[in-house]
Amino acid sequence: MKINLLGDWVDSLQAAGRYTFLRQEAADSAGLSQEAVKKGLQRLARRKRVAKVKDYFYVIVPTEYLSVGSPPASWFIHPLMDAMHLPYYVGLLSAAALHGASHHQPQEFQVVTDRFVRPLRIARQRIHFVTKRHLEQTPIVSVKTPTGSIRVSTPEATVADLVRFNKLAGRLSNVATVISELSASLKPELLVKAVETGNELPVIQRLGYILDLVGADNLAAPLADWIQARHPRPTPLVPGGSVSHASRNSRWNIIENDRIEVET
């Protein structure tokens, strides 16, 4: 295979339902040097036939995504994380959107993994990696995509993560709005299981406070029983904020040092 046939090889992958490949695969299939393959892929990238995600990892751009330069990250995040040899799940606002929360569409694709990874920019989209210890304790589900399936935090684990990483989710008012949208899909028994491993008590206190705020009494009640049995310390609603003259919510032992506004 000559270098000008790399495009045909890419076409054959897409025809077989594949939208990602490793640069080494291209070199092996073409029988070319790494430098020759690099130049060939650069030409295909200029034509927007492929997009480089990492030096060694490329995604094929189907016709319907030529204008934006790349298919959605959900199409290729699973093979990308495999290539990076990292555990992962799609989380936070991206998971919330996949579970039906559409009030605020995420501006970036949020992926949770167990170590620091720099953000990636692919054409017009950005992938942000969130670092979380004990990743394996988070309940996940498999969600189908046009190219396969991806790992996504369950709705119950998603709301806990949104509270825990609320700075990455538009702060607590936005988080409360998203939780309000997801509340109908949350199951009380699964919520308790999702929060009792891998979450600090203050995160659970704030989550319970928000569930009360959005009127999700059926979800808040079992969580309140669970948290009260552990005698949590007073916790500010917003860490680091002033607590002077702030009132205290006795059910969750939350110091109300800020006001949460839920959009409807």
> Domain ranges in the chain?
3-65, 73-256
Q: Does domain 3-65 have CATH number 1.20.120.1630?
A: no
Split at pLDDT 50, 70, 90, the class of 4 is low
The token duo for 231 is 């005698």
Q: pTM of this prediction? A: 0.93
Q: What is the pLDDT of residue 147?
A: 94
> What integer is the mean pLDDT of 226-232?
93
Q: What is the pLDDT of residue 187?
A: 96
- Answer whether residue 105 shows pLDDT above 80: no
Cα 84 → chain centroid: 17
Q: What is the pLDDT of residue 263?
A: 86
Q: Please, which residues have CB within 8 angstroms of residue 31's CB and are 6 or more apart in sequence?
A: 1
Q: What is the pLDDT of residue 96?
A: 96
Give 125's strand partners.
Answer: 122
Q: Please, which residues have CB within 8 angstroms of residue 208's CB and are 6 or more apart in sequence?
A: 220, 223, 224, 227, 251, 252
pLDDT digits (tens, 9 = 90+) for 123-146: 999 999 999 998 999 999 999 999
pLDDT digits (tens, 9 = 90+) for 26-60: 988 877 788 889 899 999 999 999 999 999 999 99
Are the C-beta atoms of 112 and 161 separated by less than 8 Å?
yes
Whole-number percent of the chain with pLDDT over 70:
98
Half-sphere exposure of 81 (CA within 13 A, CB side): 23
- Answer whether residue 1 shows pLDDT above 50: no
Q: What is the DSSP letter of 168?
A: G
d(CA 93, CA 158): 8
- Answer whether residue 3 shows pLDDT above 60: no
Beta strands in 20-115 (DSSP E): 20-22, 50-54, 57-60, 89-90, 109-113
- Answer whether residue 122 shows pLDDT above 90: yes
Split at pLDDT 50, 70, 90, the class of 215 is very high
The token duo for 188 is 């009380």
Q: What is the pLDDT of residue 34?
A: 84
- H/E element holding 162? helix 155-164
d(CA 94, CA 90): 7
The token duo for 228 is 């009260």
